Structure 1
Amino acid sequence: MKLKYMIYMSTALLTTGCNDAFLERAPQSLNDQTFWSTANDLKTYANGFYGLIPAGVSNLDDTNSDTQVPNSINTFLWGQYTVPTEGGAWSQSNWSTIRNLNYFMTHYQNAQGTEAEINTYVGEIRFFRALLYFDKIKTLGDVPWLDKDLNVDSEELYGPKTARNEVAKKIIEDLDFAIRWLPEAGSEEANRLNKDIARHVKARICLHEGTYYKYHTELKYTSEADGLLQQAVEASNALIISGKYEIYNTGHPESDYHNLFTMDDKSNLKEAILYIDYIEDKRMHNMSHGTLEANAGFSKDFVDCILYDDGLPKGVTTQPTTDNTIAEEMAGRDPRFSQLIKNDAYLTDEEKEKANYDDNYVDKFHLTGYHTIKGYIPDLPSGYYVEFTDGIAYRYAETLLINAEAKAELKTLTQDDLDNTINELRDRAGMPHLKIEVGFTDPNWPDYGYTLSPILQEIRRERRVELAGEGFRFDDLRRWKAGHLLDNVMTYVGKKLSNGKYAIVYPNYTNDDLSYQEGKSRKWDDKMYLYPIATGELQRNPQLLPQNPGW
């Protein structure tokens, strides 16, 4: 299914996109006496929220994690974030979009049309509300659940927070409604949502909350974890058994993963549950060029986690594991390595000469030496926002990863399940299959602070590699209660240099021996699993107290 992302709203409403100009315009500017009369009015109103769907061109969205390293310190991860007086994650604009969605919910009932016609657009609105509320509970934990539009006199503006698990139930109710009433995939009107998109998002949310409740035992929601994980299984199973989706695989493991992201036209790509149709001179993006001067790159920790082509990790394989150059590191590795990280095949002669590539490819634009090439097209014309390769908002590979992880958490995973999920991804990469009995113990498996089965360790590794740069990793660390993994210095340094030391991205914070500069450190604090509420909001509404833990 595609989404053109063109401006196609009525001028009576607003242009697409999630921006402050959009959020500040009140829906009351509509003529409520005449507007809410037909199903087409509902459709027109719903158009305004399609900008909430991911743009589908992510390759540098894990710089807030242990996978990628930004050029400057992330103040939140380095303990320098202070509680805002106003705004932050609780800003007015963050709530305004929910208010505009709820405005629909309190005005649509007078529209004329069949139940199916009306509820198609109610399903769209409730899908978008689910997206926004999921972001809120990930960021803030307990938040007020609001399901109608409010005004300055509404008592609900000064009401208490709703427990996170109760908000999650409301989110799932919204998605279940969307799944019931949205069209089947393939029968929807062009550029609109369908049932499978809602199923995929439901599977994502249920996995997230199910694992969050399982590992964050302080919340006392552990008893709800399995039920959520089972819902993740059921929602992802529906996509798998439909036969509509498949992993892009032409039998060229050396290039298929990379080509998935660089192919121009994704309209027939079965791995795309929802693709985004970019169009030359109408809507363009910067996915490839954005990597050229991003001042960011993959971390040494991420590179070391990538398997060798015998299916074994660095700490177990009998293959050479030297890392003096990228070429040495890349030799004999999972082919996704060479399709994720810039190497000889993607360097111009000028770059090779400038960087003495084989010895020390690190410069001011690629501070870790591990420069992402996900979505990178070397022969694009110069300039910014000149690209129109289609994006992927929701990818079937994630569906398979959700399914495998949820079943492993429930201890129902079988070899057949692995072959239908993880091993579909391994097949594309030309990698050995993952076995239910893993067959090795990796001395470098992350220490999560709790016992984890070998199969879950490997499923988590597969997820990290397959989805690298797409913005999932920080959420994964939070739901697994694994923020302390960010304390590892190798999560913010880069490749080994010709002098035997590592590329240090933050020289004012880290010494050559990888120790901290005096008075500066990166130490995870469990309060960082959530962001704080602005103090001004707490003063205006004491019922929002207490502040999020630790803040």
Structure 2
Amino acid sequence: MKIQYLLYMAAALSFTSCNDAFLDRSPQSLNDETFWKSVSDLKTFANAFYNTLPGGVTNLGDEDSDNQIPFVPNSFLWGQYTVPTEGSDDGRWTKASWQNIRQLNYFMTHYKRVNASEEEMNPYVAEIRFFRALEYFEKIQTFGDVPWLESELTIDSEELYGNKMPRNEVAKKIVQDLEFAVEWLPEKGKEENNRLNKDIARHVMARVCLNEGTYYKYHKELGYDADVVGLLQKAADATDALIASSHYEIYKTGHPETDYYNLFVMEDKSSLKEAILYIDYATALREHNACHWLRNAKSGWSKDFADCFLYTDGKPASATSKAHVRNKTMAEEAQDRDPRFKQLILTGDAPYTMTVDGGMTFITKDEDFVRADCPSGYWVRKYFTPDPSQDIEAKGTIDGIAYRYAETLLVNAEAKAELGTITQEDLDKTINQLRKRVGMPDLKLAIGFVDSDWPNWGYDLSPLLQEIRRERRVELAGEGFRFADLKRWKAGKLLENSQTYMGKYVKGEDGQFHQTVIYENYASPEKARKWDDKMYLYPIPTGELQRNPNLLPQNPGW
């Protein structure tokens, strides 16, 4: 499926106004007397929301987690975030952040003015409800309980001052929207060019259900235990359907040392069967900066992330039969590791720059990996290419992947493992497809080893789930999943590990290896990073609470 640039459609439906009050006005520039006349009007309205889909070229999406380290400390994770007085203070609870929901609900209130059958209208209603589900999923991940709004609002609407709905009830509404989308969107291959289909809705529903099912399981203080099994089963069922469809497969060409890397840097992804939804980029139409900016991003992987890779025998450092040196040169660290190590982390084997005539430069001195543009020393290689045609500021045209089949497989394996129903056949259809791409040994139900370095989650976890979580961490690294994963697993304490904000070891003038310190001000034990459970949610701005006491109480701890 090819989603091209649709911002011109959004421009045709300008819903902005100059009043900054929260959800206070109906769309101003759409003429209700002339617009709602045909099914094509519904299609045109829906077009405006296609630019809210993921861009699909995210590579530094884990800077708010234990995977990546931004040059400037993340204020939220370092306990320096203060409760905003107004939504505009940080942009998370602003008119703009709720505007899409207002516009989507405006459609839901008006679309029946069109004189057409359900069969004609509902595919576009399904698109609108899909986009509303995306908006609300982001809301509950950020704030937990939020008001559920599903109708047109005016300045006199009582709903503007309504109560928050419990998170699990909002999640049920999200699932209902996505189930409607699955019912009414066309089958893959039957959709109009550039539009949604059932499979995309199934994938997003599986993502939502896994997130919420595991969040409720591990955040027992919420008291939502009764919802866990049903949500996890929906995640398993939706991904089972995608797997059984045979529409998708993991990209591999028999080159385990390069296939994972090449998946992301191939320019044309229109025929990529690993993409449930690909995003088309093209010169002068839609371009990005994902390839170029990694060279000066002032960011990199953490030492903790580099250490999490298995060895080529399928075992971690504490159990491997391979020689391993984790705290010395890059070449020694990368030796005999899961091939994704070198495909995610720049080593001396891969070019750092390339000229038009094919000349290449490499980082040849180990100490040169650590520099201002990558203070951790572990350069992000996902979506990075030195190809001079892509290595131009904001002129990248490598296509993106908004929703990737690899995530589908990971959701399936984790949901079934959490349910206790997973079989070896399930692992072979899911995790082991990812491992085959890179030539790693299969994952077995009986793990066969104990890793003394398994994370301490704060609760008992089976060896199988430990390894499924490791696989997810590596496969989806940098794509923006990790902090949400830590939150749903109630694993914020892992961010207290100093290795999550420290870099690689480099040989000093004394001949000894010393670890790179990124944040000098936080290098001493008394200034180490501390996790506070209130950070599982963001606070609601105090100004909103004052205007609407029904939003009280404030989120816990804030």
TM class by shorter chain equals over 0.9
Correspondence for 1:539: 546
Residue pair 2:506, 2:515 contacting (<8 A) in 1 also: yes
Check 1:526–1:328 CA distance in 2 against 1; reply closer, same or farther (3 A cut). Answer: same
1:378 CA drift (Å): 1.1
Residue pair 1:324, 1:359 contacting (<8 A) in 2 also: no
1:354 CA drift (Å): 9.5
Correspondence for 2:420: 411
Correspondence for 1:508: 521
Q: Secondary structure at the match of 1:177?
A: helix
Residue pair 1:438, 1:454 contacting (<8 A) in 2 also: yes
The equivalent position to 2:376 in structure 1, one of 368, 371, 377, is 368
Check 1:363–1:31 CA distance in 2 against 1; reply closer, same or farther (3 A cut). Answer: same
Instruction: Output aligned runs, 1:286-325, within 5 Å.
Output: 286-322=289-325, 323-325=327-329
Correspondence for 1:241: 244
Could you give the per-residue CA deviations for residues 403-432 of structure 1, whole angstroms, max 9, x where no partner exists? 000000000000000000000000001000
1:387 CA drift (Å): 1.1
Instruction: Determine if the alignment matches structure 1 residue 150 to structure 2 residue 157.
Output: no
The equivalent position to 1:339 in structure 2, one of 334, 340, 343, is 343
1:5 CA drift (Å): 2.2
Residue pair 1:492, 1:505 contacting (<8 A) in 2 also: yes
Letter in 1 for 2:82: T
Letter in 1 for 2:340: R
Distance across 2 between alignment mates of 1:26 and 1:172: 26
Letter in 2 for 1:50: Y
Correspondence for 1:193: 196
Residue pair 2:288, 2:394 contacting (<8 A) in 1 also: yes
Could you give the per-residue CA deviations for residues 386-414 of structure 1, whole angstroms, max 9, x where no partner exists? 11011000000000000000000000000
Letter in 2 for 1:506: Y
Residue pair 1:325, 1:360 contacting (<8 A) in 2 also: no
Residue pair 2:25, 2:154 contacting (<8 A) in 1 also: no
Q: Secondary structure at the match of 1:123?
A: helix
The equivalent position to 2:456 in structure 1, one of 440, 447, 462, is 447
1:61 CA drift (Å): 0.5
Correspondence for 1:54: 54
Distance across 2 between alignment mates of 1:15 and 1:106: 15
Residue pair 2:454, 2:466 contacting (<8 A) in 1 also: yes
Check 1:389–1:485 CA distance in 2 against 1; reply closer, same or farther (3 A cut). Answer: same
Residue pair 2:58, 2:290 contacting (<8 A) in 1 also: yes
Correspondence for 2:30: 30
Distance across 1 between alignment mates of 2:478 and 2:98: 28
Residue pair 1:324, 1:497 contacting (<8 A) in 2 also: yes
Check 1:349–1:77 CA distance in 2 against 1; reply closer, same or farther (3 A cut). Answer: closer
Could you give the per-residue CA deviations for residues 195-253 of structure 1, whole angstroms, max 9, x where no partner exists? 00000000000000000000000000012101100000011111000000000011110
Q: Secondary structure at the match of 2:247?
A: coil
Distance across 2 between alignment mates of 1:353 and 1:420: 40
Check 1:40–1:10 CA distance in 2 against 1; reply closer, same or farther (3 A cut). Answer: farther
1:3 CA drift (Å): 0.7
Check 1:479–1:369 CA distance in 2 against 1; reply closer, same or farther (3 A cut). Answer: same
1:11 CA drift (Å): 5.4
Correspondence for 2:404: 395
Q: Secondary structure at the match of 2:550?
A: helix
The equivalent position to 1:474 in structure 2, one of 483, 491, 506, is 483
Distance across 2 between alignment mates of 1:96 and 1:189: 27
Moved more, 194-203 or 94-103: 94-103
Residue pair 1:60, 1:470 contacting (<8 A) in 2 also: yes
The equivalent position to 1:231 in structure 2, one of 218, 234, 243, is 234
1:321 CA drift (Å): 1.6
Residue pair 1:24, 1:96 contacting (<8 A) in 2 also: no
Q: Secondary structure at the match of 1:301?
A: helix
Quote the RMSD (CA, aligned, Å).
Answer: 1.9
Distance across 1 between alignment mates of 2:394 and 2:107: 34
Gaps of 5+ in 1: none
Correspondence for 1:67: 67
Instruction: Output aligned runs, 1:102-181, within 5 Å.
Output: 102-181=105-184
Instruction: Output aligned runs, 1:241-280, within 5 Å.
Output: 241-280=244-283
Distance across 2 between alignment mates of 1:147 and 1:15: 17
Check 1:288–1:542 CA distance in 2 against 1; reply closer, same or farther (3 A cut). Answer: same
Could you give the per-residue CA deviations for residues 480-536 of structure 1, whole angstroms, max 9, x where no partner exists? 0000000000000111111321111111221xxxx34x6x33100000000000000
Distance across 2 between alignment mates of 1:13 and 1:353: 48
Q: Secondary structure at the match of 1:160?
A: coil
Moved more, 482-491 or 147-156: 147-156
Moved more, 331-340 or 371-380: 371-380
1:352 CA drift (Å): 10
Residue pair 1:215, 1:479 contacting (<8 A) in 2 also: yes
Distance across 1 between alignment mates of 2:8 and 2:426: 42
1:546 CA drift (Å): 0.6
Distance across 1 between alignment mates of 2:14 and 2:387: 37
Q: Secondary structure at the match of 1:435?
A: coil
1:95 CA drift (Å): 1.2
Q: Secondary structure at the match of 1:394?
A: strand
Distance across 1 between alignment mates of 2:419 and 2:323: 37
1:4 CA drift (Å): 1.2
Q: Secondary structure at the match of 1:90?
A: coil
* Number of residues of Structure 1 aligned to a counterpart in Structure 2: 540
1:383 CA drift (Å): 2.9
Distance across 2 between alignment mates of 1:506 and 1:532: 26
Check 1:274–1:352 CA distance in 2 against 1; reply closer, same or farther (3 A cut). Answer: closer
Moved more, 86-95 or 30-39: 86-95
The equivalent position to 1:420 in structure 2, one of 429, 435, 454, is 429
Q: Secondary structure at the match of 2:151?
A: coil
Distance across 2 between alignment mates of 1:25 and 1:144: 17
Distance across 2 between alignment mates of 1:6 and 1:194: 17
1:376 CA drift (Å): 1.3
% same residue? 61
Residue pair 2:313, 2:321 contacting (<8 A) in 1 also: no
Check 1:484–1:232 CA distance in 2 against 1; reply closer, same or farther (3 A cut). Answer: same
Residue pair 1:355, 1:363 contacting (<8 A) in 2 also: no
The equivalent position to 1:522 in structure 2, one of 501, 513, 529, is 529
- TM-score for both structures, normalised by structure 1: 0.95
Q: Secondary structure at the match of 1:508?
A: helix
Could you give the per-residue CA deviations for residues 45-100 of structure 1, whole angstroms, max 9, x where no partner exists? 11111111000001111000000110010000000000000014221211111001
Q: Secondary structure at the match of 1:98?
A: helix
Q: Secondary structure at the match of 1:443?
A: coil
- TM-score for both structures, normalised by structure 2: 0.94
Residue pair 2:37, 2:113 contacting (<8 A) in 1 also: yes
Distance across 1 between alignment mates of 2:156 and 2:367: 67
Distance across 1 between alignment mates of 2:362 and 2:117: 66
